Amino acid sequence: MNASVPPSSDPPFPLHPPLDAWSRMVGPIDPGFDAAIKDRLDHLTKPLGSLGRLEDVAFWYARLHGSDRPPAPRGACVVFAGDHGVTAEGVSAYPSSVTREMVLNYLRGGAAISVLSRTHGFSLSIVDVGVDGDLSGAEGLIHRKVARGTKNFRREPAMAPRDGIRALEVGMEMADRSAKAGATLLLTGEMGIGNTTSSTALAAALLRRPPEELAGTGTGLSPEGRRKKIRVVEESLAVYRPLLSSPLDWMCAVGGFEIAALTGFIIGGAVRRIPVILDGFITTTAALLAVELIPGVRPWLLASHMSLEPGHRHLLEHLGLAPLLALDLRLGEGSGAAVAYPLVVSAVELYNRMATFSEASVSEAGPG
């Protein structure tokens, strides 16, 4: 059989994602309400600007919702899970089997993100997009497994292009589902042993920075473990660099199924006109990819926190994102986005519900 003809059981996926169509759907931001939003912020019963960054967050949210009376936040968190063949190089402190085990923990409600979802009242969806293990009987899981983990990118490309594109489309599908369920804010989450190595490789390639500057200890590598991780990434980049140029090529060569799905999810937020709260290093790597593919995605992003993974700071600086929090988190699974969520809720509720000076008959500041 001709190798370029897909097996007949395969759905006829395009060889390129519909990026042009998605890009046209992102469209520009309407500045039409900017003055009204600013005016309301400046006339609420508080000294001018005294709510600090919360005022920026309220402005961001209201302008993206195209209204000076935006909807109350309704968050939808999606955790995409996938495994990484590069773990064969000994680049994580934990075995790959933890990815599957944690998926079951999310579904049972015992993980950090499960607790935060109940505490703060946002929905939580868990998607198997590439876990290397059987989850077919897992109830409540969204089953979208593209393959059982990526290939070891130190030896061969992590994903076949059509599989990378399938994962992107899973992310877009989840943004659509969240929109249909009435979400007004998306929270990004991931689970994948080894994915800080994939993210380091992808970020190093896209930012053109040395892996040494970006690599951290992930789930808890020793200093020697971190040095090995850097060596694996450096050697891999040296092989791929002469062969690859486009962000999509890099995504397939060194990325992961959950990273690709997150990229589609983040683009989907911009397409469905729903603002997106990023989590840590991995989700921000996906955001960089999304912005490289479609620059109009950038305004839809909010950085929840700055992770301890050193690459996160470089990504945030490159994207021009100022994180709300610095809590030394390095958990992932959406936990940082979840901790920032009540801050966004506070910002929007204050903006929508506080009285203005005239409504409350409070005197405004005098000149000077």
- Least distance (Å) from ligand NCN to the CB of residue 102? 7
Closer CB to ligand NCN, 161 or 225, in the complex: 225
When the beta carbons of 17 and 218 are compared against ligand NCN, the nearer one is 218
| Position 104 contacts ligand DMD (CB under 6 A) | no
94 touches ligand DMD by CB under 6 A: yes
Confirm or reject binding of residue 128 to ligand DMD (CB under 6 A). no
Considering only 197, 263, 285, 304, the residue that binds ligand NCN (CB under 6 A) is 197
What sign for the dihedral angle of Cα 73, 282, 180, 104?
Answer: negative
Nearest CA to 94 out of 258, 233, 220, 255 is that of: 220
Kindly tell me which of 32 and 220 has the beta carbon lying closer to ligand DMD.
220
Closer of 79 and 214 to ligand DMD (Cβ): 79
Token pair of 88 as six digits: 């064969």
Site mask for ligand NCN (CB under 6 A), range 308-327, x = bound: -x--x---------------
Residue 191 interacts with ligand DMD (CB under 6 A): yes or no: yes
The reply on whether position 304 binds ligand NCN by CB under 6 A is no
CA distances from 243 to 17, 133, 157, 286, 300 (A): 21, 32, 11, 21, 32
Binder among 23, 45, 67, 219 for ligand DMD (CB under 6 A)? 219
Which 296-355 positions form the footprint of ligand DMD (CB under 6 A)?
331-333
The residue from 89, 258, 309, 333 that is catalytic is 333
Judged by CB under 6 A, does residue 191 bind ligand NCN?
Answer: yes
Looking at the DSSP assignment, which residues form a beta bridge with residue 142? 127
Total of chain residues touching ligand NCN, rule CB under 6 A? 24
Would you state the structure tokens that stand for residue 293, as one six-digit string? Answer: 């593919």
309 is catalytic: no
**CA separation for the pair 108, 126 (Å, rounded):** 11
* Partner interacting with residue 195 (select from ligand DMD, ligand NCN, none; CB below 5-8 Å by kind): ligand NCN
Question: Is 334 one of the binding residues for ligand NCN (CB under 6 A)?
Answer: no
Binding flag, residue 85, ligand NCN (CB under 6 A) = no
Minimum distance between the CB of residue 103 and ligand NCN, rounded to whole angstroms?
A: 11
User: Residue 83 Cβ, how far from ligand DMD at the closest point, in Å?
Assistant: 12
Sole binder of ligand NCN in the list 332, 338, 339, 347 (CB under 6 A)? 332
CB of 185 to ligand NCN, least distance (A): 19
Nearest approach in angstroms of CB 117 to ligand NCN is: 16
Give least dist CB 360 to ligand NCN, A: 42
Summarize as ranges the residues that interact with ligand NCN (CB under 6 A): 92-94, 190-197, 218-219, 279-282, 307, 309, 312, 330-333
Summarize as ranges the residues that interact with ligand DMD (CB under 6 A): 94, 98, 102, 191, 219, 331-333
Active site residues: 333
